[in-house]
Structure 1
Amino acid sequence: MMVDQPEPDLARAARLLASPSRALMLKALCDGRPLAVTDLARVADVSVPTASVHLGQLAEAGLVRAERSGRNRYFHLAGPDVAAALEALAVIAPPDPTPVTTLRTHSRHSALRRSRTCYDHLAGSLGVALMYAFLDQGLLQREEGALASRSRADQPGSYGKQASYQLTPEGTERFAAFGIDVDGMTRGRRPIVRYCVDWSERRHHLAGALGAALAERYFHLGWLRYGVSPRVVHLTDTGKGGVMDTFAIEVLN
């Protein structure tokens, strides 16, 4: 006997995100790295016991997962779909009304828009620049009928709900030469190429197994380093040269 699956409880998800403290914790976890309860309490500006209660609620709803290392508990997002949902929500969310009054806050906001992680792949102007450079070079291509026109999709804010991308034979060859296990991706459950709508650029950045593998490779080669603030990453001088030499992409990041 087939049992009907219950419909998603959007109201419950909305209630969880309605708490500024929980929202701040989830945004910090979009860094992709597990964070301790004490770190998340500091991010949300609450006590450790209060943070534990919030994280318990998020875990019960399946948005985060906990793991223990010694005496410490660490939390991470339940998966890339949670990060993608948060990124999509950020696209339609109203701007934070809190005025930027310090140089530190201004610098952090600028850094987030320039280059950040979206769970396990790159976002911000850097992630978008790489995505569209791969399209220009024929390493990725839009599936036929995905968008009415190329020029329309390239305009900020015109990201096209029906967009879909795929890896080309040339892309398979180039990424494999760069050290990406493309064959292994085809055997995995995760789609090779997906996209997120970037909340700061209003355009697409590369997600999926390929986006994650590229970010991991960049870190391994020393092309990227983490910043002081959660999610912020910086392209190193080595990375700028590597992106130019390997993919002929000039990034002024």
Structure 2
Amino acid sequence: MENQFSDLTSLIGDPIRSMVLWTLLDGRAYTAMELATCTGTSAQNMSMHLSKLLKADLLVVESQGRHRYYRFSRQEVAYAIEALANLIPHKKEAKILANISTDIKYCRTCYDHLAGKVGVLITERLTADNIIALQDKSYILTRKGDRFFQDLGIDFNVLKTKRRALAIPCLDWSERRYHLAGALGAALLDKMLEADWIRRKKDSRAIIITSTGSGALYKQFKVEV
């Protein structure tokens, strides 16, 4: 186990590979050329790095036409990468955050769920209103919560059939507080996008809140944006 852990941390710790993993946190799949451009390396060098990440089962690749697209092999990889950002010392974090877009810190995607200040505020409101409750390092849905999400068009019983964590806390690297992850967090993000409460910002993890979404977020979660 110790050797495997050491190998894994060495793999992730490489500057190019860590940037690949950070880029993939927006939940989209990328070609090798796109990842090479994002990390500022050559296509040949990127191919070598991607091969190592595939071998470690951190990524999977899917072919579509003439292109091959890379993404995380499972959502746990994304959660682990996001969590690692919380290990940045607070003094260094302040300097780093000062150089990061305000939009990213305010509202963004964390792989397949909502993060940033808005994601944290929504999660805290759901907890304060006893819609979800933190228990044994995961969230449970209360009876009130079941009705709440049913009204939003999210069936928790359907989510239970998915082979993944249902509702878990994910420590937000910019807020240092929890936002909602897991199948429920992903379903909530999908529902908000479908209802046009929020929109993805092109070439960014930042999320735009629409005028419709501003009213809906206050009505449903008492979150002012």
Report the TM-score, using the length of structure 1 for normalisation.
0.81
Quote the offset at 1:191 in angstroms: 2.6
- What secondary structure sits across from 1:187 in the alignment? coil
Q: Counterparts of 1:119-198 in structure 2 under 5 Å?
A: 119-143=111-135, 163-198=137-172
Q: CA distance change for structure 1 residues 250 and 28 in 2, over 3 Å: closer, same or farther? A: same
1:189 CA drift (Å): 2.7
Give the AA of the match of 1:119. Y
Q: Is the 8 A contact 2:33 2:43 kept in 1?
A: yes
User: In structure 1, how many angstroms separate the alpha carbons of the residues matched to 2:42 and 2:224?
Assistant: 41
Shift of 1:98: 8.7
Following superposition, the deviation at residue 170 of structure 1 comes to 0.6
Aligned to 1:158: none
Residue matched to 1:80: 75
Counterparts of residues 37-116 of structure 1 (less than 5 Å): 37-94=32-89, 95=92, 106=99, 108-116=100-108
Other-structure match for 2:31: 36
Are the equivalent residues in 2 in contact too, given 1:90–1:199 (CA < 8 A)? yes
Does structure 1 residue 249 correspond to structure 2 residue 215?
A: no
Percent identical residues: 35
8 Å CA contact 1:122–1:211 kept in 2: the answer is yes
Structure of larger gyration radius? 1
1:230 alignment partner, one of 204, 214, 223: 204
- Tell me the amino acid that sits aligned with residue 36 of structure 2: A
The Cα shift of 1:85 comes to 0.6
Check conservation: 2:122, 2:223, Cα contact below 8 A.
no
Structure-2 change in CA distance of 1:133 and 1:36 (3 Å): same
Measure the CA separation in 1 of the matches of 2:41 and 2:93: 19
Q: Structure 2 regions of 5+ residues with no counterpart?
A: none
Distance in 2 between the 1:125 and 1:97 partners? 16
Superposed CA RMSD: 2.2
> Please, what TM-score do these two structures have when normalized by structure 2?
0.90
* Alignment pair present for 1:203 and 2:173: no
Of residues 186-195 and 173-182 in structure 1, the stretch that sits farther from structure 2 once superposed is 186-195
Whether the 8 Å CA contact 1:28–1:231 is kept in 2: the answer is no
Q: Partner residue of 2:13?
A: 18
Greater CA drift, 51-60 or 233-242: 233-242
| Corresponding pairs, count | 223
5+ unaligned residues in a row in structure 1: which ranges? Answer: 1-5, 147-162
| Partner Cα separation in structure 2 for residue 99 and residue 126 of structure 1 | 20
